[in-house]
Chains A and B, each alone.
Chain A
Amino acid sequence: MVNVDDYVARTEGTCGKEQDVIVIFKYDKKDEAIKKILGRATTRKSIAGIISELTYKGFSFRLYGSGKVIFRDLKDKEELNSLLSKLLL
């Protein structure tokens, strides 16, 4: 059965007051992950496929063509996992 870990290579908490979370997709799964996310979330703005500002169920985040997503204002790891499950599975 496919799960979030099949897509995610690494999750990195950022340094700074913002406490953002960066999710890095596995290299061989990044295109699939990006496609799924773009299909499910609403695109507010995009620059040449390099960076997309997205919203999904009240969450706003930025998706990068290199296979990285930066999430803001997430409560905890559970909320991140739940969001990723909805976006990817």
Chain B
Amino acid sequence: MLDPYRIREDFPILKRKINGKQLVYLDNAATSQKPRQVIDAIKDFYENHNANVHRAVHTLSLEASQLYEDAHEEVAEFIHARGMEEIIFVRGTTEAINLVAYAWGLRTLRKEDEVIVSLMEHHSNIVPWEIISGITGNKIKYIEVNEDGTLDYESFESLISGKTRIVCLSHVSNVTGIINDVKRITKLTHDHGAMVLIDGAQSVPHLPVNVKDLDADFLAFSGHKMLGPTGIGVLYGKREILEKMEPFQGGGEMIREVSYDQKTKRCSIFWNVLPWKFEAGTPNVGGAVGLMEAIRYLTRIGMRNVNSHEERLTKYAIPRMEGCCRKVKIYGTKDTAIKCGIIPFGIDGLGSHDIALFLDNYGIMVRSGFHCAQPLHEMFKLSSSARASFYIYNTIEEIDKLTEVLKETDQL
């Protein structure tokens, strides 16, 4: 069991006051706050080790290269990949999905092929596939979502076929927090000879994730949602798949050799080994160092403890939010056994932005809008929603504060 009060001591921002009130940060599904350890690791990198990585022999570059490679190893261990060659550093989940869409999809998909995504996806797992489909002409099929926000597995079973080339699905919905049975999806997808890309943006920071157990072909996630800095994220890919894929971007670092041929007047290019083949240009070394420290922090706590803490908060919050004011409505399933610490809600007569602004007056930060998941909101017949999302540093007292303030909206 984790101690959120002890953990809070590590997060300087949580001491801040907003509008004269103690900050209550409940927008963790958008981004997490950063512990002192992560901030210090980034500071230490720039103060003591900063240099460009690889292909230099001076001390600083060797130190930076070692740190950068250690970060890959740390991530590999965290998600149980086979090694760092399966870990590609990108800017975030969006770039990771785009990498697969462009490097694999654009080169592979044909008109007769089908890509399956779900209606609960974040736009970053819809738009890249729609763009590629606009170029290659391949079909996109959408898995339906049930009224309670859970995935309609029968709909998926009716869509998958021999024409399916890839299934792209979020592990945890960023709107409802619902955990999809991706293992079930992966099994059925592989039975049809297709691949699976899992959007782990909302699962890797909150649940123990084991890519071997899930048998995922690709897993995408962001550092900033798991205590790390912005601008660093991960694409995990099975080594044998990554080896067959062509690079996403060209430039330095991703090549082993670029040789000019006097006869053909062209350059012949040989790709670098994994994972560097997919990391063109100078990488975000400072970000990688921060992510490594964030993973160490989470590992010390234990991902099972992270998950149980959030489950406890969610179990506590749902009835209290509903009970505090007759106008509060929670969207999607309330079954905490199949959801993470994300609670989408609305208040009769108030827009989601009004809710967020009202709470902001009391120092409580929640998100409002579509949360980059407009199709799911359309399915719920919602113009937008407010969303409270929890993490390791949130407390029961903060939820009490939230419900106390929500109570006041009864007067509106």
Given A16-B384, A50-B361, A70-B354, 9 additional A-B pairs, CB 8 A: A14-B369, A15-B369, A22-B357, A50-B358, A51-B354, A53-B412, A64-B357, A66-B357, A70-B353
The answer, among A16, A17, A20, A64, for a CB contact under 8 Å with B358, is: A64
CB contacts (< 8 Å) of B108 on chain A: these are: none
Q: What are 10 A-B residue pairs whose CB atoms fall within 8 Å in the complex?
A: A14-B368, A16-B353, A16-B377, A18-B353, A20-B351, A45-B412, A51-B357, A66-B357, A70-B353, A70-B357
The reply to whether B357 and A17 contact each other, CB–CB distance below 8 Å, is no
Taking chain B's interface residues, is the majority helix, strand, or loop, or is none over half, making it mixed?
mixed
* Residues of chain A in range 1-33 having any CB-CB distance to chain B below 8 Å: 14-18, 20, 22
CB of A32, distance to nearest CB on chain B (Å):
17
Known A-B contacts A50-B358, A50-B361, A62-B357; A16 and B408 likewise in contact (beta carbons under 8 Å): no
The reply to whether B353 and A47 contact each other, CB–CB distance below 8 Å, is no
CB of B105, distance to nearest CB on chain A (Å):
27
**In which size bucket is the chain A interface?**
10 to 19
The answer, among B353, B361, B384, for a CB contact under 8 Å with A51, is: B361
CB contacts (< 8 Å) of B358 on chain A: these are: 50-51, 64
Q: How far is the CA of A66 from the CA of B361 in the complex (A)?
A: 6
* Residues of chain B in range 319-372 having any CB-CB distance to chain A below 8 Å: 351-354, 357-358, 360-361, 368-372
The reply to whether B384 and A62 contact each other, CB–CB distance below 8 Å, is no
**In which size bucket is the chain B interface?**
20 to 34
CB of A15, distance to nearest CB on chain B (Å):
3
CB contacts (< 8 Å) of A53 on chain B: these are: 412
CB of B360, distance to nearest CB on chain A (Å):
6
Which residue of B has the minimal Cβ distance to A51?
B358
Ranked nearest first, the 4 interchain pairs of A and B with the lowest CB-CB distance are A16-B384, A15-B369, A17-B383, A16-B369
CB contacts (< 8 Å) of B372 on chain A: these are: 15
B22 within 8 A of A: no
CB of A11, distance to nearest CB on chain B (Å):
13
B19 within 8 A of A: yes
B411 within 8 A of A: yes
CB contacts (< 8 Å) of A66 on chain B: these are: 19, 357, 360-361
The reply to whether A17 and B384 contact each other, CB–CB distance below 8 Å, is yes
Which residue of A has the minimal Cβ distance to B360?
A66
| Residues of A participating in the B interface, judged by any CB pair closer than 8 Å | 14-18, 20, 22, 45, 47, 50-51, 53, 62, 64-66, 68, 70, 72
The reply to whether B408 and A47 contact each other, CB–CB distance below 8 Å, is yes
CB of B391, distance to nearest CB on chain A (Å):
22
The answer, among A14, A50, A65, for a CB contact under 8 Å with B353, is: A14
Known A-B contacts A18-B353, A18-B384, A20-B351; A51 and B412 likewise in contact (beta carbons under 8 Å): yes
Which residue of A has the minimal Cβ distance to B405?
A50
CB contacts (< 8 Å) of A22 on chain B: these are: 353, 357
The reply to whether B368 and A47 contact each other, CB–CB distance below 8 Å, is no
Q: How far is the CA of A62 from the CA of B372 in the complex (A)?
A: 25
CB of B373, distance to nearest CB on chain A (Å):
10
Which residue of B has the minimal Cβ distance to A72?
B351
CB contacts (< 8 Å) of B352 on chain A: these are: 16
The reply to whether B357 and A47 contact each other, CB–CB distance below 8 Å, is no
Known A-B contacts A47-B412, A51-B412, A66-B19; A16 and B360 likewise in contact (beta carbons under 8 Å): no
Q: How far is the CA of A62 from the CA of B350 in the complex (A)?
A: 11
Q: How far is the CA of A72 from the CA of B357 in the complex (A)?
A: 14
The reply to whether A20 and B353 contact each other, CB–CB distance below 8 Å, is yes
CB contacts (< 8 Å) of B383 on chain A: these are: 16-18
Which residue of B has the minimal Cβ distance to A22?
B353
CB contacts (< 8 Å) of B360 on chain A: these are: 64, 66, 68
The reply to whether B412 and A18 contact each other, CB–CB distance below 8 Å, is no
Per-residue interface assignment for chain B, residues 185 to 227, with 1 indicating a CB less than 8 Å from any chain A CB and 0 otherwise: 0000000000000000000000000000000000000000000
Q: How far is the CA of A85 from the CA of B408 in the complex (A)?
A: 32
Q: How far is the CA of A65 from the CA of B18 in the complex (A)?
A: 12
CB contacts (< 8 Å) of B412 on chain A: these are: 45, 47, 51, 53
The reply to whether A15 and B384 contact each other, CB–CB distance below 8 Å, is yes
CB contacts (< 8 Å) of B369 on chain A: these are: 14-16
Q: How far is the CA of A17 from the CA of B26 in the complex (A)?
A: 23
Q: How far is the CA of A51 from the CA of B277 in the complex (A)?
A: 54
CB contacts (< 8 Å) of A14 on chain B: these are: 353, 368-369, 384
CB contacts (< 8 Å) of B351 on chain A: these are: 16, 18, 20, 70, 72
Which residue of A has the minimal Cβ distance to B411?
A47
CB contacts (< 8 Å) of A45 on chain B: these are: 412
Q: How far is the CA of A74 from the CA of B352 in the complex (A)?
A: 18
CB contacts (< 8 Å) of A72 on chain B: these are: 351
